[in-house]
Amino acid sequence: MKRMSGSIFYLHLLLSCFVIFTLLLNAVHASKKCYIVYLGAHSHGPNPSSVDLQTATHSHYDLLGSILGSHEKAKEAIIYSYNKHVNGFAASLEEEEAAVIAKNPNVVSVFLSKEHKLHTTRSWEFLGLQRNGINSAWQRGRFGENTIIGNIDTGVWPESKSFTDQGLGPVPAKWRGGNVCQIRGLNKVPCNRKLIGARFFNKAYEAFNGQLPRSQQTARDFVGHGTHTLSTAGGNFVPGASVFGNGNGTAKGGSPRARVAAYKACWSLTDAASCFGADVLAAIDQAISDGVDIISVSVGGRTSLSAEEIFTDEVSIGAFHALGKNVLVVASAGNDGPTPGTVINVAPWLFTIAASTLDRDFSSTLTFGNNQQITGASLFVNIPPNQSFSLILSTDAKFGNATNRDARLCKAGTLDPRKVKGKIVSCIREGKIKSVAEGNEALSAGAMGMILGNQKQNGNTLLAEPHVLSTVNYPPGHKKTTPGFLISATDDTINSNTTIRMSSARTLLGRKPAPVMASFSSRGPNKIQPSILKPDVTAPGVNILASYSLFASASNLPSDTRRGFPFNVMQGTSMSCPHVAGIAGLIKTLHPDWSPAAIKSAIMTTASTRDNTNRTIRDAFDKKLANPFAYGSGHVQPNPAIDPGLVYDLSLVDYLNFLCASGYDQQLISALNFNKSFICSGSHTITDLNYPSITLPNLGLKAVTVTRTVTNVGPPSTYSAKAQLPGYTIAVVPNSLTFTKIGEKKTFRIVVQATSVTKRGNYNFGELLWTNGKHNVRSPITVRRI
């Protein structure tokens, strides 16, 4: 527990510094600004003693005091003394004072510390939610009040401010999890009226890996992933959220007044993907039993491409049984894009979430020796922004026995410190959602920084990550391609005979276009059930800032000693999944009796296929538009989702009939019906499952009729249909539906027919839209002629 106590002390120190920072700024004269005075390296080395730290701080007082006239004035002016690894200080100074100190021969640089306003997580503003809005989904859904969200992940850091229970009433009576809180608190049991339960499931993991130490037999989060996802779904409003000092904003979840429960089923301290299916299924089972309303599960895996997978996959099985308790399971689509057919968690009773960008960038500009500039993604730059460094390509910096491919990716042990030391090294990103290992190799070889180029598969998706050294991920570019790689910028720009400068990292808002699909987001078509479009929707999943474990290092690398981060930036469909769980929580609060299918339909049919420039959502690759295999029904919109007008509802019997039509074994289907016999009967077809999207993967020349039923959830109204599908004839019968009361159901048919000129083998995309002038209920149509 010593280590965790130290981490919490560090958190207190950070908060204290923020308070001091605020007080000092309020006290200074308006003409003064915050400057950073950078002095290079410390003489005390990488492992300073407490005396070393004091000596460094006093040297800062001496230097500034020589300008301001006294030690006392220097102490008043200094906001931070960087006395550990970075040598320098931040101080409130007049422009003239900064100019004088910049002339000192011991000063490397003096520069303004700009205000970076993060707006954390910006994703909720981007999705249209405002805390003080008048009629947004937050207000209408009462901020998710008393909805219970269960999260299956790496556990939770319970002391995070995202999970304090201030202002919350008693635990809802529907909670059946009792007072089980399998976390050893630092002073007391850490669960409360917000974090109402915490359990861990590790038997399968231990069976393969041996028994975990007793200190790890806990639902406490040691890697940060679970804390991040749970706070995104249901975390409180937490002001003052930032990472590496880059900005300052308010963190919050989609349902900030929801109650949350953590179910730890992932165990590796360095690999968040280490989740054993049996543990995951046990967690889902427990969550259902505990009375959660929504389960967010940012895990998944594929063992086969057979249709049997929906019954051999633990998430699919658990989600199916959640239906019986009216529990919606929201799952990530996977991070294996952009390869087609890679989407996972594809069962029709799962809500499958893709990942896309938002309108915020963490950014740094690279300036090369020829003055060409490239802007990329960076979470922090802690080298002097006005100082040029020699650039070296990793292939020019490799050991003689390292292969060019390994060196290009800066794999461990490939870079020669004699060639790299003091330079910025250029590497190519290997990971789809994580590339911190490349930076670790660069740092180990003595690099001052790293620029990280994208491979072809990464497209324009740029990641701002908590690297161990100053790093900028730059976009693909212009001229040169090598097998499997795309080198960004021209040959005469990025080479080992030039210099480079990095600007300080900054936060940019209102970026356009947004959203753009993330290159890593797994894509359809659904190879397990081709007649069900997957993913279902897309949500923010790139450079997402949320709460984090104080125990975890910033990068999760074993060698990374930086700890005590209350927030961090992460990427992946793991991050987009809890966004949708949070939106579902709002709908559940407003409509507690809605089925999981109705909530899912509300979010799908109100999703948008347009970006913030009112054009079709783009893919991560130049001149390529995204399609439903990337974004499903579109990008989520909480405000219309809370009031969708019509929904496509489904019951357990509907899913069983779908399995009958799919040709699954009768005995197997009967076994799914909670010990009740179920006999396949009637003429059910796969395409008639009342799903909010329509997919026909094997259409011949003969016309096909698809049946759907909508339920009115709004005031009396008449809806008119509009349908379009390029290359096909399409009709909706009837094309007008009149509803007189809530809960009324109406059935209609869509007739689709290919023409003789319709191209075989390719998918075409269209849409069906029901509108009454206020509500737009949209369904994507995906068809392939065989």
Distance CA 694, CA 326 (A): 24
The DSSP secondary-structure symbol of 681 reads -
Is 574 a catalytic site residue?
A: yes
| Catalytic annotation, pick one of 119, 225, 467, 579 | 225
**Residue pointed to by tokens 């003080």:** 132
Residues 223 and 251: their CA atoms lie apart, in Å, by 19
SS3 category, 256: coil
Q: Rounded to 10 degrees, what is the CA torsion of 551, 557, 559, 565?
A: -30
Q: Of the candidates 251, 236, 260, which has an alpha carbon nearest to the alpha carbon of residue 166?
A: 236
Query: Looking at the chain, how many residues does it have?
Result: 786
From the list 435, 574, 576, 662, the catalytic residue is 574
Residue-by-residue DSSP string for 8-23? HHHHHHHHHHHHHHHH
8 A C-beta contact, residue 355 and residue 542: yes
Rounded-to-integer distance, Cα 194 and Cα 234, Å: 9
| Residue 297, φ and ψ in degrees, nearest 5 | -135, 105
153, β-bridge pairs: 264
Which pair of structure tokens corresponds to residue 725?
């599908």
* Given the residues 123, 153, 279, 547, the one annotated as active site: 153
Burial class of residue 740 in the structure, from the number of CB atoms within 10 Å of its CB (0-12 exposed, 13-18 middle, 19+ buried): exposed
Residue type, 543: N
Residue of 34, 52, 32 lying closest to 43 (CA atoms): 52
Task: Give buried/exposed letters for 73-100 (b at 16+ CB in 10 A, else e).
Answer: ebeebbbbbbbeebbbbbbbbbeebbee
Instruction: Give Dmax (Cα) for the chain.
Output: 93
Residue-by-residue DSSP string for 156-197 = B-TTSGGG--TT--SPPTT--STT-B----SSS----SSEEE
- For residue 153, indicate whether it is catalytic: yes
Backbone torsion region of residue 532, taken as left when φ is above 0, otherwise alpha when ψ lies between -120 and 50, otherwise beta: beta
| Residue 42 a catalytic site member | no
Q: Is the dihedral of CA 121, 122, 127, 133 positive or negative?
A: positive
Angle, alpha carbons 361-580-183 (nearest 5°) = 95
Coil, helix or strand at residue 690: coil
What DSSP string runs through 587-631? HHHH-TT--HHHHHHHHHHT-BSB-TTSSBPB-SSTT-B--HHHH
**How far apart (Å, rounded) are the C-alpha atoms in residues 584 and 582?**
5
Beta strands in 463-536 (DSSP E): 470-474, 481-482, 485-486, 499-502, 506-509
At 696, the amino acid letter reads L
Peptide bond into 475 cis (omega under 30): no
Would you name the residues annotated as active-site residues? 153, 225, 574
